[in-house]
Amino acid sequence: MQTRKLGPFTTSCIGFGCMNITGGYGRTSAADAITVLQTAFDVGYRFFDTAALYGYGESEELVGKALKGQRHDILLASKCGLQRDKQGQRELNGRPERIKQVCEQSLKLLQTDVIDLYYLHRVDPNVPIEESVGAMADLIQAGKIRSIGLSEISSEQLIRGHKEHPITAVQSEYSLWSRTPEVAVFDVCDELNIAFVPFSPLTRGFLTGQYRDHSQFDETDLRAKMPRFSEQNLPKNLALLPEYNAIANKVGCTPAQLALAWVLAERNQSMLPIPGTKHLNYVKENALAAEVSLDETTRAQLNNLINESSVVGERYSAQQMSTTDSEQEKQRLSA
DSSP string, 151-170: ES--HHHHHHHHHHS---EE
| Bridge partner list, 198 | 172
- Are 65 and 33 spatial neighbours (Cβ–Cβ below 8 Å)? no
- Are 200 and 246 spatial neighbours (Cβ–Cβ below 8 Å)? no
Residues 6+ apart with CB under 8 A from 291: none
Dump strand ranges (E) for the chain: 3-6, 9-12, 16-17, 47-49, 75-80, 82-84, 90-92, 117-120, 148-151, 169-173, 195-199
Residue 3, by phi and psi: left (phi above 0), alpha (psi -120 to 50) or beta?
A: beta
From 54, 56, 119, 282, active-site residue = 54
- Are 144 and 114 spatial neighbours (Cβ–Cβ below 8 Å)? yes
Q: Check if 244 is active-site.
A: no
- Active-site positions read 54
